[in-house]
Structures are given as structure tokens and as C-alpha cells.
Copies of this chain bind each other. A is one copy, B any other.
Amino acid sequence: MNASPLPELQSTLNRIRPVDQSVMAAVQSRLDRQTKPTGSLGRLEEFARQYVAITGREELRRKAIFTFAGDHGIADEGVSAFPREVTAQMVYNFVNGGAAINALARHAGAEVVVVDMGVNHDFGQLEGLLDRKVGRGTANFAQGPAMSRADAVKALETGIVLGLSCRGAGIDLVGTGDMGIANTTPSAAIVAAFTGLPAAAVTHRGTGIDDAALAHKVAMIERGLTLNHPDPRDPVDVLAKVGGFEIGGIAGLIIGCAAEGVPVVIDGFISTAGALVACELHPRIREYLFAAHRSVEVGHAAMLERLRLQPMLDLQLRLGEGTGAALGMTLVEAALRLLREVKTFAEAGVAEGTKC
């Protein structure tokens, strides 16, 4: 959270290393000596293995959820059930602690870092808000690119700086979150661009639009893809043409965290769009990710499939902000507690089972 100059995107990507498989095996070996049937803690064992292999630690110091906010020109097309002003209003709500992410972060014992990546509002000096504005909302991608390539790189590098600062600040687990009226629209466009799936297959109701608005939303995404033809082999181009500032911030945060060996719990549809941009830039980044939950948004499944990530939770959430990530972080914490605290058969004087 310092104000150091933006790092070069490519040099940060170059620092990303594979997660150490030998550490995973060592953790599993310890889990297998604990007083429980082998493998009986299921995915909690996987979470423990992955966290320790990424961080080299068995403990968690600080946890932080970065909630990135940005506005979207495509909102002018009536693709959301909410007016555009709500992005800024919700930023105030976050800063005042009154939103769902604040409640769930308190539940998880995590800090919320609210980042203005491009809200169309002048917050002045607002305590609790990081001003990292790349612009005052993107342009309407149904009429041209959402942002310039330079702004896309700036959004990514802004997120990278935040990610790089975590480990030194004692943040051992990061969650991602988003706020931006209309941002399921760029997220659907991003997954369509990378996968080649038709817009209709990955577009859903967002905050709750009706059938007519949904059909229009699909048409706007189709128009944006046809007009701007984002190049799926060039993730920065996809982000620039049909993305969003907060999505770029999320992607950058993930890249920075991966470079520093900090695991990231990604939230739902918008956060996973950011993760997709990051992983298309460097496929190994997926090894640093926990997918918190399966969103109600239909396009989320295609994202998770492309990332080969299995969600931790399926609670029919469709809120964003980082709410699912907060819950996912508690499962990582539970897994670490098991790893640290459960006695082995030898320690507890319990007879072992027969191996199968």
C-alpha cells in the first residue's frame, strides 16, 4: 500500500515460480499421521497443502480483502438493475463499514482495503479509501474500447503494487472483491473473449435484470466483441477492449501476490474475470488461487473450468464485494488449524487403521 513507482508488468510476471510440490507431499504426510482416517478431511487437506506450499508457513498473520471499485460506460446501455451512482454510494458504505463485505470480513477476521480504481465520483480525501483512479469510469465498449491499452497496463500495475506489498505487511492470505454497477457485463465479455463461447452462454442477470434487459445485455456484449475484436492471445488487449478498471486491479493484485508467494482467495464472477486475465498472462498463477465459491452467474462455471479451479463453496451467492472470498478464507484458516493442532496417532496413543 506504498506509493512506489509502478513496476513493469512483464518483470513481475517473470518472477512467478511453480508452487513447490515437495512441500505439498510433506504436508500430506503429516496429515496422514494425524488421528483420523487417511484423507478423511477431504478438501480441507488440499487447502492446507496448497497454503503451506505457497507461503512456506503454517500460520496466518493478517488477512486482507481488497475490494476494487470502478464504473463502466456500458452501464449507459441499461444492462444493470441499479443506477450507476450506486458504485460511489457503495464505496461510502464500505468505508463506513455498513456493507455485506464489512460484516463478513469482521466474521473472518480480515481487513477490508477499499480501492478506487475508477469510480465516476470525486471522493476527495476519504479516510479508508485508497485513491488509485485510472479514470472516471471506462468508456462504453458497445461504441469502442473500454479503455486504452496504456490504462489497462496502468490498472494491472496498480493492482500489482498492492499485491507486492502484502507479504512485507504481514498479510498471508488475500481475498479479492469488486464493486462496479454493470460489471457483470465486462466480466461476461472477458470470458466470452477468452473461451470463444457465445455471449448468451456466459451472460446472466447480474443484480437482477428481467428477460428483456438480459437479451439486450447479451446483444451489447456481442456488439462489443464484434466492434472491438479483442485478441484472446493478448490478455491486456482483452482487458482494454471489454474490461474494467476494477477488473484490471484484481488481475494485477493476483499477479503481485503470486510473485510474492501470497495465496489469493478469489470471489465470484467479476473477481474470476480478473483471475482469468492474470492466468492468461501467466498460467502458473492458478496454483496460487483458491476459488471461494460457485456464483449463480452462469458464465462463472466456464471461467472456473478454464482455470481448472474447484470452488470451495456453493451458497448461491451473487453479490460480489469479496463476500464469498471472506467465507473461503475462513476455510483456509480452519484447514491450517487442523494441520497445526490435530495430534498424530503416536502422540495421542491411538491405534492406526489398516492401509487400503
| Chain A residues proximal to chain B, CB less than 8 Å | 34-44, 80-83, 85-86, 89-90, 92-93, 96, 98-100, 102-104, 106-107, 205-210, 296, 312-319, 323, 327, 330-331, 333-334, 337-338, 340-343, 347-354, 356
| B338 and A103 contact, CB distance less than 8 A | yes
Number of copies: 2
**Which residues of B lie under 8 Å from residue A343 when comparing CB positions?**
93, 96, 98-99
**Which residues of B lie under 8 Å from residue A327 when comparing CB positions?**
331, 334
Closest 3 CB pairs of A and B: A42-B316, A98-B343, A37-B207
CA–CA, A356 and B80, complex, Å: 11
Secondary structure class of chain A's binding surface, majority of residues: loop
Specify which of B104, B331, B342 is in contact with A338 (CB 8 Å cutoff): B104
Closest to A80 in B: B353
| A43 and B316 contact, CB distance less than 8 A | yes
CA–CA, A100 and B42, complex, Å: 13
Given contacts A98-B35, A333-B107, contact A356 B209 (CB under 8 A): yes
| A317 and B35 contact, CB distance less than 8 A | no
5 A–B contacts, CB within 8 A, in A order: A40-B318, A43-B317, A86-B350, A92-B349, A313-B313
Closest to A45 in B: B316
Specify which of B207, B319, B348 is in contact with A98 (CB 8 Å cutoff): B348
Closest to A210 in B: B356
CA–CA, A312 and B293, complex, Å: 12
| A208 and B356 contact, CB distance less than 8 A | yes
Specify which of B85, B98, B317, B338 is in contact with A44 (CB 8 Å cutoff): B317
| B41 and A350 contact, CB distance less than 8 A | no
* Minimum Cβ distance to chain B for residue A191 (Å): 20
CA–CA, A314 and B331, complex, Å: 12
Given contacts A81-B354, A89-B350, contact A317 B99 (CB under 8 A): no
| A93 and B337 contact, CB distance less than 8 A | no
| B353 and A81 contact, CB distance less than 8 A | yes
* Minimum Cβ distance to chain B for residue A113 (Å): 19
| A315 and B42 contact, CB distance less than 8 A | yes
| B44 and A315 contact, CB distance less than 8 A | yes
| B316 and A82 contact, CB distance less than 8 A | no
Closest to A98 in B: B343
Specify which of B80, B106, B352 is in contact with A341 (CB 8 Å cutoff): B106
**Which residues of B lie under 8 Å from residue A205 when comparing CB positions?**
356
* Minimum Cβ distance to chain B for residue A81 (Å): 4
* Minimum Cβ distance to chain B for residue A237 (Å): 31
**Which residues of B lie under 8 Å from residue A350 when comparing CB positions?**
86, 89-90, 93
**Which residues of B lie under 8 Å from residue A352 when comparing CB positions?**
82
Closest to A206 in B: B37
